[in-house]
Amino acid sequence: MDSSNQDGSFIKFVCISDTHTKAGLLNLPKGDVLIHAGDFTYTGKPEEVYEFNDFLKNSDFEAKVVIAGNHDLTFDIQNYAKDYAQRFHQDEKIPIDAVATKAMLKDCIYLEDSSVNLKGYSIYGSPYTPTFFDWAFNLDIGKPLQKKWEQIPNNTDILITHGPPHKILDRCYDGFQAGCPDLRKAVLERVKPLYHIFGHIHEDFGQLKIDNTTFINASSVDFKYKTRSSPAITFSLPIKD
């Protein structure tokens, strides 16, 4: 707990994303719950996952909530063996076991189209983003992604997705807005969470409030993969139970 919360009546969330093997280099503020919105590796190699889990194990947070991103290739087990292994890891002397690699991430609460309740708040996480060069957890805009977003429960207080909604902290270096319109519709019209945390678009780090939802792009590195001097965004909520 930070000094402003000595009576323990609030829970402080520290949000990061897109650390790409650099999580251990970040100067993070103190808090109670760490949220990581995906892309903790470059390509999901076992040594990258092991190093990230070691960072989590040694981080002083009561809970750590993590989702995967499009760079975390071995976490997309369904597609790894039939596609990503050959395209990205063809030079590996020993074939990578995606199931075993994913199992290395054990010192956190890992969410993949699933929920957890912390201190009375329902947190839902999903790694999916619109198709981009056929990396991990990519689906096409339209029915494929709509079906994913339909799984988000209506009572979600904190939503974590790897990618942003369309036109919300999703602007790339060239001006293109890469967020998902189907996600935007689901969040603003149905789910209406208190907070929506994501990353993916490194260039648009920051936060924005629309209606009752605060959107946070927590990308901890910039477009050139350089770590930010202030790599996290925080918020606090009263403990419900």
The Cα diameter of the chain in Å comes to 54
Domains of the chain listed by start with CATH number? 3-238 (3.60.21.10)
C-alpha closest to that of 173 among 203, 198, 149: 203
User: What does the pLDDT read at residue 156?
Assistant: 98
Does position 3 have pLDDT exceeding 90, yes or no?
Answer: no
Reported as a single tens digit per residue, the pLDDT across 108-152 is 999 999 999 999 999 999 999 999 888 999 999 999 999 999 999
Angle 116-118-122 (CA atoms, 0-180°, nearest 5)? 55
201/198 Cα distance (integer angstroms): 9
Confidence of residue 88 (pLDDT cuts 50, 70, 90): very high
User: What does the pLDDT read at residue 74?
Assistant: 98
Does position 101 have pLDDT exceeding 70, yes or no?
Answer: yes
Does position 180 have pLDDT exceeding 50, yes or no?
Answer: yes
C-alpha closest to that of 14 among 158, 154, 133: 158
User: What does the pLDDT read at residue 4?
Assistant: 45
Strands 114-118 and 121-126: antiparallel
Does position 1 have pLDDT exceeding 50, yes or no?
Answer: no
The residue type of 94 is: I
C-alpha closest to that of 14 among 202, 176, 237: 237
Confidence of residue 5 (pLDDT cuts 50, 70, 90): low
125/169 Cα distance (integer angstroms): 18
Reported as a single tens digit per residue, the pLDDT across 13-65 is 999 999 999 999 999 999 999 999 999 999 999 999 999 999 999 999 999 99
Reported as a single tens digit per residue, the pLDDT across 181-230 is 999 999 999 999 999 999 999 999 999 999 999 999 999 999 999 999 99
User: What does the pLDDT read at residue 70?
Assistant: 98
